Amino acid sequence: MFLNRKTPPKIVTLTLLAGLSSFTLSLMLPALPAMASWFGTSVSTMQLAVSLYLALSAVVQLIIGPISDRFGRRPVILGALVVFLLATIGTIYAPDAGTFLAFRMAQAVVSTGLVLSRAVVRDMVEGPAAASMIGYVTMGMSLVPMIGPLIGGALEERFGWQSTFWLLFGLGVATTALAFADLGETFTRREGGTFAQMRLYPRLLKSRIFWAHCGVASLASGVFYAFLGGAPYVGAEVYHLSSSQIGAAFALPSVGYMAGNYLAGRHSVRVGMVRMIVMGTSVTTCAMTGLALITALGLSGPWVFFGAMVFLGLGNGMSLPNANGGMLQAVPELAGSASGLGGAISIGSGAGVSALAIWLLPPGAGDLPLIVLMAVSSALSTLSLLILPRRSLALQA
């Protein structure tokens, strides 16, 4: 009976499931130069640990939604956590960079927790209430990337880069135990096979509501993924910061993200999803445009650059919970599939933008190309709402 719990999970469980994915992405960022030295390769090669991880996360998110709509949220999440633990051991004992990157890609299965935590919320509540609850879940989750690089930089300098992955393994064990004990099944299984569920995707592909919110989520997330791809270079090569300083700087967007999530959780029901999205994307666009002007005038510096990322986090914290909530309500009976497909598109776009950010920053480049890329991606996220049907826009606003 314990294996088939039906009790809905607590918010803390959903927060940890979503947060483990973010922690896996951010914890090792300050250690990339040390890892490159250990494996005898370039920093750019080790940066593939970010872009390949994001690319595989996109694949996982594409298929995991329909699978969970067929077999349920609980068994899929628990199975993914076990695979994650095995992959993490593989990264620690990898003999070369290629083997490490292979296991690193396998770690991307942990993004199942991020996708299905949103689907579980949609199973429990609907509409703006779902956006509000997602906001509270991601507000707690935002603490993870805030402290992740700080911890990762300190661990690498004191114990070596492998210590960051041992920490991930320990956290994975704890999260698996909590999910096993608390994560009750919230979904009513459907008849038919997994591929039958995937054949329902055209209903999502025809939904303008889905595509509008998916566009917001993809392009707003793209601003942050551009930061992830380019900021290690900017911190180390442009501003000559140490690993621990880069780790501290990476915490700044999360400060704003937590504040934005709080605003989303508190006000989405009253203000409306679309208005909250517009407010959030406007904050990010104005901040990145202002930073570009300051940089072009030669007035920027490390704490101006990284300090502006607080507003990136603030804007994303307000817009992303509402964009994700909007995707899930486009076709309510396909919430898991919508979360998976939308997440795959968002993460896939993020991987592309992250790779573009790296390409825009060859040796000797400054930080302005990265800032312009972030400003453009943020502006386009707002424009994505233009494809919303008028009736839907009136109802949500």
d(C-alpha 87, C-alpha 100), whole Å:
10
- Which amino acid would we find at residue 173? V
pLDDT digit string (tens) for the chain, length 397 residues? 444 556 777 777 777 887 788 788 778 877 877 888 888 887 777 877 877 887 888 788 778 777 777 777 888 888 999 999 999 999 999 998 889 999 998 998 888 887 787 777 766 665 556 556 666 666 555 566 567 777 887 888 888 889 989 999 999 999 899 888 877 776 665 555 455 555 666 777 788 888 888 899 889 988 988 887 788 788 878 898 877 787 778 778 878 888 887 888 777 777 788 888 999 999 999 999 999 999 999 898 888 999 999 999 899 888 888 887 787 777 766 666 676 677 778 777 877 887 788 788 887 888 899 999 999 999 999 898 888 776 555 445 4
| Local structure of 125: helix, strand or coil | coil
Q: Measuring CA to CA, which residue among 267, 290, 294 is closest to residue 280?
A: 267
d(C-alpha 284, C-alpha 374), whole Å:
9
Buried b (16+ CB within 10 A) or exposed e, 273-298: bbbbbbbbbbbbbebbbebbebbeee
370 and 107 Cβ atoms separated by less than 8 Å: no
DSSP code of residue 238 = I
d(C-alpha 105, C-alpha 224), whole Å:
20
DSSP string covering 31-69: GHHHHHHHHT--HHHHTHHHHHHHHHHHHHHHHHHHHHH
82 and 350 Cβ atoms separated by less than 8 Å: no
Exposed / middle / buried, residue 266 (Cβ in 10 Å: 0-12, 13-18, 19+): middle
DSSP code of residue 94 = -
Condensed to tens digits (0 to 9), the pLDDT of residues 175-234 reads: 899 888 877 776 665 555 455 555 666 777 788 888 888 899 889 988 988 887 788 788
Residue 385 CA, chain-centre distance (Å), reads 21
Torsion of the alpha carbons at 217, 220, 225 and 228, rounded to the nearest 10: -140
Q: Measuring CA to CA, which residue among 56, 343, 65, 72 is closest to residue 200?
A: 65
Condensed to tens digits (0 to 9), the pLDDT of residues 297-348 reads: 989 888 899 999 999 989 988 888 888 778 777 776 666 667 667 777 877 7
121 and 137 Cβ atoms separated by less than 8 Å: yes
Q: Measuring CA to CA, which residue among 306, 292, 193, 165 is closest to residue 246?
A: 306
d(C-alpha 385, C-alpha 64), whole Å:
26
Domain borders along the chain are 2-396
Tokens describing residue 239? 């501003």
CATH number of the structural domain 2-396: 1.20.1250.20
